[in-house]
């Protein structure tokens, strides 16, 4: 019974961490149609920002939840102004450009921090569930994921800001004709996407050993989650994260983490064969 509880928590954690690592990409790729190959590097920057902030004596929660997203968001805006904004609507070109950006960012991080492993410890004690001990930090990540999803849903669905953003993404000319500046809206949306990636890097930093090329480990997973999710950003992200998180953890428990990854990739291949345009193109059609 306790084991079942532990497994459920681990599955929820896997789903939550997929939501967390993919949400930034869902905004930048899902909404803005920019194939952001530098997504992993935005996360990596978030991780380093957190480590630097914590080591200079700032509270870890402020570092992860505020400083990391802000710093990465600002870096994102700079990159958007300099490079990305010239490439909107040119899918393949964005891929090439962001690929280059990712290499530059890895290079810069290597120059600053060196190609060595850095890390900080987790701020939360282990929890006891019956006979079992579980990483207390898992609950924190689950809460962050829930917050991201519900805030995102609220913003996009119920606020004028969300409506304007969605409208501008759908048809920039019409929103311009209505008096909104699409250029500004794109910039702001990119900021949000980059900040979410930074947040993901920040909250994962205490769980791992951070190296400059760390982000590359997450890029495939987050693209799979967003692509399989399909056109609806939030429903798509939630459904694909739930599916992949569960598959990954169940196979990890039954066999080992390697089988977990293999099962995740196999599921993705099969799903894309059956539903080439993503889950939400056929199942939760028309949802947000």
Partner 1 sequence: MQINRRKLLSGAAAIAASSFVARPIFAAENSIKLGSVLDTSGVFDAYGKPMDKAARMAIEQINAAGGLLDKQIEYILYDTQSNISNYTLFGKKLARTDKVDVVHGGILSASREAVRQTFRKSNIPYFYNVLYEGGVCDRNIFINGITPSQQVKTLIPAAVKKWGKKIYILAADYNYGQITANWIKKYANEVGAEIVKTDFFPLDVADFGSTIAKIQTAKPDMIVSVLVGGAHISFYRQWAASGMNAKIPMASTTLGAGNEQNILAKEETEGVLVAYNYSQELKNPLNKKLLANYKAKYGSIDDLHSTAVSHYEGILTWAEAVKQAGSVKSADITKVMEAGLSIDSPSGKMTVDAKTHHSILDVHLCEFRDKKMEIIESFAQQQPLDTQAVCDLNANPDDNQQYEIKI
User: Could you list the residues that contact partner 1 (CB under 8 A)?
Assistant: 3, 6-7, 10, 13-14, 37, 99, 102-103, 106, 115-119, 121-122, 124-128, 131-138, 206-209, 211, 216-217, 219-220, 249, 252-253, 256-258, 260
Of residues 133 and 147, the one with the C-beta less far from partner 1: 133
Of residues 145 and 219, the one with the C-beta less far from partner 1: 219
Of residues 272 and 283, the one with the C-beta less far from partner 1: 272
Residue 169, phi-psi category: left (phi > 0), alpha (psi -120 to 50), beta (remainder): alpha
Of residues 251 and 284, the one with the C-beta less far from partner 1: 251
HEC sequence for the chain: CHHHHHHHHHHHHHHHHHHHHHHHHHHHHHHCCCCCCCHHHHHHHHHHHHHHHHHCCCCHHHHHHHHHHHHHHHHHHHHHHHCHHHHCCCHHHHHHHHHHHHHHHHHHHHHHHCCCCECCCCCCCCEEECCEEECCHHHHHHHHHHHHHHHHHHHHHHCHHHHHHHHHHHCHHHHHHCCCCHHHHHHHHHHHHHHHHHHHHHHHHHHCCECCCCCHHHHHHHHHHHHHHCCCHHHHHHHHHHHHHHHHHHHHHHCCHHHHHHHHHHHHHHHHHHCCCCHHHHCCCCCC
Smallest distance from the beta carbon of 6 to partner 1, in angstroms?
5
Of residues 135 and 242, the one with the C-beta less far from partner 1: 135
Smallest distance from the beta carbon of 79 to partner 1, in angstroms?
17
Smallest distance from the beta carbon of 85 to partner 1, in angstroms?
23
Smallest distance from the beta carbon of 82 to partner 1, in angstroms?
21
Of residues 125 and 159, the one with the C-beta less far from partner 1: 125
Smallest distance from the beta carbon of 122 to partner 1, in angstroms?
4
Of residues 176 and 265, the one with the C-beta less far from partner 1: 265
Smallest distance from the beta carbon of 13 to partner 1, in angstroms?
6
Of residues 172 and 212, the one with the C-beta less far from partner 1: 212
Smallest distance from the beta carbon of 211 to partner 1, in angstroms?
6
Smallest distance from the beta carbon of 248 to partner 1, in angstroms?
9
- According to DSSP, the residues that pair with 132 across neighbouring strands are 129
Q: Which is nearest to 101 in space by CA: 238, 194, 205, 217? A: 194
Residues in the chain, total: 288
């Amino acid at each position: 019974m306790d084991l079942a509880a532990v497994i459920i928590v681990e599955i929820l954690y896997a789903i939550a961490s997929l939501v967390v690592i993919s949400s930034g990409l869902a905004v930048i790729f899902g909404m803005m149609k920019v194939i952001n190959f530098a997504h992993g590097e935005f996360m990596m920057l978030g991780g380093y920002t957190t480590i630097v902030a914590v080591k200079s004596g700032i509270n870890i929660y402020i570092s992860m939840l505020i400083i990391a997203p802000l710093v990465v968001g600002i870096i994102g805006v700079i990159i958007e102004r300099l490079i990305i904004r010239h490439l909107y609507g040119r899918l393949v070109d964005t891929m090439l450009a962001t690929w280059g950006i990712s290499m530059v960012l890895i290079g810069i991080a290597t120059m600053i921090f060196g190609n060595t492993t850095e890390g900080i410890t987790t701020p939360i004690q282990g929890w006891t569930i019956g006979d079992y001990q579980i990483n207390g930090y898992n609950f924190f990540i689950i809460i962050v994921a829930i917050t991201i999803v519900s805030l995102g849903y609220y913003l996009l669905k119920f606020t004028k800001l969300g409506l304007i953003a969605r409208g501008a993404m759908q048809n920039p000319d019409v929103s311009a004709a209505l008096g909104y500046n699409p250029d500004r809206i794109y910039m702001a949306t990119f900021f949000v996407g980059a900040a979410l990636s930074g947040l993901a890097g920040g909250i994962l930093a205490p769980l791992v050993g951070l190296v400059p090329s760390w982000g590359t480990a997450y890029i495939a997973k987050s693209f799979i989650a967003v692509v399989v999710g399909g056109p609806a950003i939030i429903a798509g992200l939630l459904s694909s994260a739930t599916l992949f998180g569960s598959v990954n953890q169940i196979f990890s428990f039954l066999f080992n983490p390697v089988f977990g990854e293999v099962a995740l990739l196999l599921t993705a291949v099969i799903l894309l064969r059956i539903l080439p345009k993503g889950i939400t193109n056929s199942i939760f059609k028309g949802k947000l």
